[in-house]
Amino acid sequence: MKLVKDIDNENPRNISDKEAEEAFKTILAWMGEDPNREGLLETPKRVVKAFKEYFKGYKEDPKSILDKTFGDVDGYDDMVVQKNISVQSHCEHHMAPIIGKAHVAYIPKNRVVGLSKLARVVEVFSKRLQTQERLTMQIAKTLMKSLDAKGVAVTIDSTHQCMTMRGIKKEQATTVTNYYLGQFKEDLSYQNRYLRFISITKD
C-alpha cells in the first residue's frame, strides 16, 4: 500500500511508540490509576498497538485502491450499489467510537472497479478521526474523481458513542448522512432508485 505524502496529520515530529506509551501512562495516572500495578503494566503498549489499527487510514492512500479498473463489462452503464459496509471510526471531538453502516453506489462511464475496493475506500477514510459529514463526502468525492463516474451516492447510518455513553446519553439515536454527485444529484429518479435499493432488507 502506497503511503500518503500530503496528509496534514502525518506525525511531523516522528513520535516514537515509546513516547506514545509514556503519554498513555500519564493519562492513566491522571485518571487516578497506578500505571505500575500488574494489570496495567502492558496497557500503554497494548493501547498504542490498538491505536495503530484504529487510525491506520492516515498511512493509506484511498486513490491508489482504485487504480485498477475493468473495461470488459459489455457496456454496463447502470448503478452499482454496495450495501451494509461496516463502519468503525472515531469522532474527532471526543475520540469516541462511531459504529454503523455505509451504502455506496456509482454509475460507471466506461469502466468498473472490483467490488472489494469500494469497501476498502470506506475503510481507509473511516480509520481516521472523523466527523460523519466529512467522512461521507470524502468517500463520495474520491470515488467520483478516481473512477471518472457518471454519478456517486454515499449514505452512512451510524451511532456516535459521544452521544450514547456521555453527554446527552441518548442510546437509541442514530445519525444518517447522504452525499450525491453527478447523475445522483441532478436526476431525482436515480436518487429514488438508490434509496429504494438500500432500504431493501432480507427476510
Q: What is the pLDDT of residues 69-90, one digit of tens each?
A: 998 888 888 999 999 999 999 9
Residue 90 known to be catalytic: no
Q: What pLDDT was estimated at residue 8?
A: 44
Are the beta carbons of 58 and 128 closer than 8 angstroms? yes
Residue 160 known to be catalytic: yes
CATH (one of 1.20.120.420, 3.40.1160.10, 2.40.50.140, 3.30.1130.10) for 67-199: 3.30.1130.10
Domain 1-54 has CATH 1.10.286.10: yes
Query: Which one of 21, 60, 90, 91 is the catalytic residue?
Result: 91
Query: Which one of 132, 138, 183, 191 is the catalytic residue?
Result: 132
Query: Which one of 21, 103, 160, 183 is the catalytic residue?
Result: 160
- Residue 171 banded pLDDT, cuts 50, 70, 90: confident
CB atoms within 10 A of CB 21: 19
Residue 91 known to be catalytic: yes
- Residue 110 banded pLDDT, cuts 50, 70, 90: confident
Residue carrying the nine cell digits 459529514 = 133
Query: Which one of 19, 93, 133, 186 is the catalytic residue?
Result: 93
- Residue 203 banded pLDDT, cuts 50, 70, 90: very low
Residue 94 known to be catalytic: yes
Buried b (16+ CB within 10 A) or exposed e, 24-40: bbeebeeeeeebeeeee
- Phi, psi (deg, nearest 5) at residue 163: -100, -30
Residue 103 known to be catalytic: no
The answer, yes or no, to whether residue 146 has pLDDT greater than 50, is: yes
Residue 130 known to be catalytic: no
102 strand-pairing partners: 85, 156
CA dihedral angle for residue 71, residue 72, residue 74, residue 77, rounded to 10 degrees? -30
DSSP summary character for residue 88: E
Number of continuous H segments (helices) and E segments (strands) in the chain: 8, 7
Spell out the domain ranges in the chain.
Answer: 1-54, 67-199
Query: Which one of 10, 19, 42, 92 is the catalytic residue?
Result: 92
- Residue 201 banded pLDDT, cuts 50, 70, 90: low
Residue carrying the nine cell digits 445522483 = 184
